[in-house]
Amino acid sequence: MKRIFIPQINTDFHRLISFFFLISVCAFGLFAQADSEAKTLRFKYKNDDNYRVLSTVNETVKVNGRFNHRAEIVNRVSARITDVDKNGRGLNEATFTTMENSVGANSNGTLTYGEEYESKYWRDTKGVYEIGNEYFMPVVRDVPVFPEKAVKPGDTWTANGHEAHDLRRSFANNEPFKVPFTATYTYLRDEEGVSSDSKHEKKTFQVLQVKYTLSFESPIPENVYTLTDDFPVTTMGFSNQTIWWDNEKGQIDHYTEDFRIIMETYLGNQFDFTGKAHAEVTDFERTATEENLAVVLEKVKDLDLEDVSVTKSEKGLTISVENIQFKPNSAELLDSEKVKLNKIAKIIEDFPNDLLISGHTALSGSAESCQILSEERADSVAQYLIKTGVRDKYHVYTQGFGARVPIASNATPEGMAKNRRVEITILDK
């Protein structure tokens, strides 16, 4: 996933999937009467269920007491429940991706698709993880964890959890850097609101407050006097979250969080991360099916879209716009291509999944110029699709491949035209 690079350390996955399952800051004005009947709160898993977590983190980073940068980080998780055991535990197979916009960058630009990380773990009905050390995602684990007994508004309980940070690039840690905590939970109230999943369906949520502090002294390596690299010594901080829990569905609907994490290192460096996060969890259907492929191909034909092909892959359903036309040596779309994209928007509006826009060029000029042009053209198409209203900017991501992935020979004008393309993938992962 895309990192925030700062001297000596990167925040990597700091609030990365800042609570993975916890999600979005919807304003709810209608309150349900507090139900005095106690409820047993539990996660519920079903085989082959698919869900997506989308969180947005606004974070300020200081290094040794001085401002370093401010960033908006979008964390995306797509996951599937691939097994449910006799005790109701769910096996989650997930793909994590992080996109970042730093202050000073083009704030109107689209989010660049980051590196993907795969993870696989069990989670029981109370919320406790079982995950191997080979996996670095998610960062925050065992939040929320529910008590054995039924609870009602006003009840409190505590449960242990931990954060698992990826410090491989910063401190050469080959396993997740784990920071333990004890979280205090308060069942605040029942509240009526609109589901993040449908944006229309009214639900009654169980509103939970979760607070924990971090105060962790890292074990000192035995070979500390021979080490030349820095390493974390003390981790301090806090996290305050509000979770809107859907007990009928057995999952979080959305959440908000305030946090501050301070990490001090052996060589005396201090890194300070302060910010706010919000996120939402939604179900989604996989699009890359033979049935959907046939439907989209038929629509492409009916709309008389030339130089457009459709394929399916593990990543999703891809609409490839070949020989896409821009003004000479630029990323500005010709009007004819805008008409084509308007038609494509009509097709993809039937599929609610996120979009990945990939730019490709023919082999012409230097590798660097091809890469830059492919990124700019992907961004141009993405921004135009956002303007059509088919998606907002948090659900459209871009990447450029330069001339590295040709689909035809660059030795002929016809082949170069095919390679000069933009691919619109309706994401399944």
**pLDDT, position 226:** 54
The Cα–Cα gap between 54 and 97 comes to: 10
pLDDT of res. 286: 86
Q: How many CB atoms lie within 10 A of CB 259?
A: 22
Both tokens assigned to 277 = 């996060």
Backbone dihedral region of 344: left (phi > 0), alpha (psi from -120 to 50 degrees) or beta? alpha
The whole-angstrom separation of Cα 24 and Cα 203 is: 15
Distance, in Å, from the CA atom of 235 to the CA atom of 272, rounded to the nearest integer, reads 10
Question: What distance in Å separates the CA atoms of residue 64 and residue 212, rounded to the nearest whole number?
Answer: 24
Domain coordinates in residue numbering, the chain: 5-283, 290-427
Topology alike, domains 5-283 and 290-427:
no
- Spell out, as residue ranges, where the chain has pLDDT lower than 70: 1-36, 101-109, 172, 198-199, 221-228, 329
Pick the CATH number of 5-283 from 2.30.230, 1.10.15, 2.30.30, 1.10.3470: 2.30.230
The two structure tokens encoding residue 421: 């393309």
Q: Which CATH superfamily is domain 290-427 in?
A: OmpA-like domain (3.30.1330.60)
Write the pLDDT tens digit of every residue in 231-259. 889 999 999 999 999 999 999 999 999 99
Chain-centre distance of CA 289, in angstroms?
23
Supply the DSSP string of 1-59, one letter for each residue. Answer: ----EETTEE-TTSSTTTTTT----------PPPP-S-B-------TT-EEEEEEEEEE
Dist. CA 51–CA 429, nearest whole Å: 10
Asked if residue 147 has a cis previous peptide bond (ω within 30° of 0), the answer is: no
CA distance 337 to 359: 15
Distance CA 222, CA 283 (A): 47
What's the whole-model pTM score?
A: 0.83
Query: What kind and span of H or E run contains 343?
Result: helix 335-348
Q: How far apart are CA 360 and CA 415, in angstroms?
A: 13
pLDDT at position 199 is 66
**What is the model's pLDDT at position 227?**
54
